Amino acid sequence: MEQSFLKELIHYNKPKESPFRLIGAGLCMISVLLTGYLSHQLAIASFGSLGIFTFLYYQRLPLKQLLLRLLIIGSFLTLGNFLGMLSTHASWTAPIVVALIGFLGRFFFRLHEIAKPGPFFVVMVTAMGTSTKIPLTKIPFMSSYFFIGVIFALIFAFLLHFMEKTPLPVTKTSKSLKTRIIADPAVIIDSLLYSCILFFAVYLSMGLQLENPYWLVVSCAAILQGDTLRAMAHRNVQRIFGTIIGLLIAAFLLNLPLSIFETLVVITLLFVTVEYFIKRNYALAQFFTTPMSLMLAMLAKQQYLYTLIQFRFLGIVIGSLLGLLAAYLINTSLSFYNRTFHSKQ
């Protein structure tokens, strides 16, 4: 019997996963944050905390295959953020850069069957780069700080590989790019539609002149992560509701007289909490994603709290609604494409 929409929204999943993955994620975050803190370079903490998203692509694979996959993903993340920062010096290129990275990410992750979070974090760090105005000469240094996070991710993935005791999956035979496209011909049109939506999302965020405009783009990309149109509708409601609660938590935390070290500890705890809830209930995860993001933004830019809260709320609501509309358009377009494709076979 089909569950009601409301019951699906509040459903609490109980996935089977190793507790070592949560511990590894927390150690990645605290390691890079402390590296920045102890070296008196908070830019390392800010940018490196993005690089550790590489760890979230960990899968139970043979060691060589695992490290190669994570290195490629980490390099892709670094490249996306680098190009995003470069685009700030010619703002008209920002929508093109995000759309191009979005297309390549959607295409690559789908063809290689890389499970969620898929291209989401690649789009996220690229969009963040387009919102980070940095002098041209300093961009390579910021990218090197970003890659420090990737290195920490590789180190802890290496350690986690030996700590997990579940058997390794059977190694699949490698396939050529042509073979993969023939097996999934809709990947090209899907990636094109995805990149077009991201192009419009960046263009809209820049036109509205939102503070930290990447929040709109990231929200749109987050909704498009859903496997079905119904799942995307769930994410839309859960993200908006979770953000409202998260903003209240953020308002409380950001008004506490925390030292920089205490702030780094709180960010780490929030990050682990998000990773715990993200597979269990998306709305609950958003309770902690919002304060974590705002605390990182405060750490990096020292902006006023209420300005951040106001623009994050606007960005997430507009981005989520745009993502839901885009999901419907993509779903409809692909259904027509598949119907035509199969009728001509």
Q: What is the crossing angle of helices 63-87 and 139-163, to 10°? A: 160
Instruction: Domain ranges for the chain, please list them.
Output: 15-343
In sequence order, the 6+-apart residues with CB closer than 8 A to the CB of 224 are 194, 197, 232, 323, 326, 327, 330
Token pair for 118: 């898929």
pTM for the whole structure: 0.87
Give me the amino acid identity at 179. T
Per-residue pLDDT tens listing for the chain (345 residues)? 345 656 656 666 777 777 888 899 999 999 999 999 999 888 888 899 989 999 989 888 888 889 999 999 999 999 999 999 999 898 889 999 999 999 999 898 888 878 778 888 899 899 888 888 889 999 999 999 999 999 999 999 999 988 887 777 766 667 777 788 877 777 888 888 889 989 988 888 888 777 666 778 888 888 887 667 777 777 778 888 888 888 888 888 888 888 889 989 999 999 999 988 888 887 888 888 888 887 887 766 544 455 566 667 777 788 878 878 887 887 777 676 666 555 555
CA distance 269 to 163: 22
In terms of Cα–Cα distance, which of 95, 97, 100, 108 is closest to 187?
A: 108
Check: CB of residue 239 under 8 Å from CB of residue 286: yes
CA distance 59 to 160: 10
Check: CB of residue 243 under 8 Å from CB of residue 313: yes
